[in-house]
Amino acid sequence: MASDGAIREQALGWAVRAGDPTFADWEAFMLWLEADPAHSRAYDEVTAAVGEVADLVAVAGPANDDVVDGRRPTRRLWLGGAITASLALVGALWLFQGQSRDLYTVQTALGETRSITLDPGTRVDVAGGTKLVLDRKDVRFAKLDEGQALFTVRHDAAHPFEVAVGDEKLVDIGTVFDVRHDARGALSVAVSEGAVQFDPGGADVRVSPGEVLRREAGGSDFTLSRVAADQVGEWRKGRLTFEAASLDDVAAQLKRATGIDYAAAPGGAGTVSGSILVAPLRKDPAAIGPLLGLSVRAQGSLWVIGSH
């Protein structure tokens, strides 16, 4: 699923090609437009911007002393050049806007948590083993590269808070929501207050209070299910709750919360459900066994969990 930036680049490319008098690939162009509503919106935006710039250029008209091959250019030829220049200008402006952020990275160690206040009413609680990118120029933007974070957001309809996660985007609608994203591509978005609009330019799914959206690692389909509102962000209070979670997911969450090197047994099957406090595991990593009905064995500094 393409990001908003990628779709804008595609729209600009189609606008450049379709503006060429020799362009003939109209069937492919129409297929691209019809493939996703975001495509036609982006194309309308770029052509509108091009029209505005071209109008400004056309007002000046071609200079009287412009000569090509010993003759003055025709109005059509000149306007074609003006539109091409307009497209280039619009593309450059979009590129500049994308590069104008002042980004910095917040990174936590496994087992560490941090709380960051972005503005009055907006706070991000960052779980262990997390890489979060923020913008000094825009406190209404965050990018979760990997890990987990709980966002408590002051809603502003004129400037909604956005979280980029991979190729997708989350937009708040007056919200407290928890996002988990790992290196394998697994994603979950759980909401306790307000709502989140997931990937508004693509899937466009609304996640309401008491709901969690999930995508498994390596998959592209999303599921929407119920979650207890008080479980959203409970890791801040030292508790983890698993609902039909895979062993890989359990190990990853335990590792993030405790800093202890947990791993799923190779080929381990089955799912895990239950709720645990994290603190006792720091003293005894094997305590996870009886708490969740798992087998646990030490392998050097690694704790391997599996089904009985």
Task: Tell me what the mean pLDDT of segment 54-65 comes to.
Answer: 49
Roughly what angle, to the nearest 10 degrees, separates helices 75-99 and 4-18? 170
Residues 6+ apart with CB under 8 A from 36: 7, 202
Q: Which residue has the higher pLDDT, 33 or 235?
A: 235
pLDDT over 60 at 88, yes or no: no
Residue 138's DSSP bridge partners are 135
Q: What percent of the chain has pLDDT over 90?
A: 56
The per-residue pLDDT for 276 is 97
Q: Is the dihedral of CA 81, 83, 86, 88 positive or negative?
A: negative
- Determine the residue type at 54: A
The per-residue pLDDT for 193 is 95
Question: Domains in the chain, ordered, with CATH?
Answer: 4-99 (no CATH), 103-229 (2.60.120.1440), 238-307 (3.55.50.30)
Task: Tell me what the mean pLDDT of segment 224-246 comes to.
Answer: 95
- Determine the residue type at 131: K
The per-residue pLDDT for 5 is 63
**Do residues 190 and 211 lie in contact, with contact meaning Cβ atoms separated by under 8 Å?**
yes
CA-to-CA separations, 290 to 138, 264, 281, in angstroms, rounded:
47, 16, 12
Instruction: Kindly report, residue by residue over 158-216, the tens digit of the pLDDT.
Output: 889 999 998 889 999 888 999 999 888 889 999 999 999 999 888 899 999 999 999 98
The per-residue pLDDT for 101 is 81
Instruction: Kindly report, residue by residue over 203-218, the tens digit of the pLDDT.
Output: 899 999 999 999 988 7
Instruction: Kindly report, residue by residue over 97-112, the tens digit of the pLDDT.
Output: 445 688 999 999 999 9
Q: What does the block give as tokens for 91?
A: 């593309």
Instruction: Kindly report, residue by residue over 242-261, the tens digit of the pLDDT.
Output: 999 999 999 999 999 999 99
Q: What does the block give as tokens for 269?
A: 């099957």
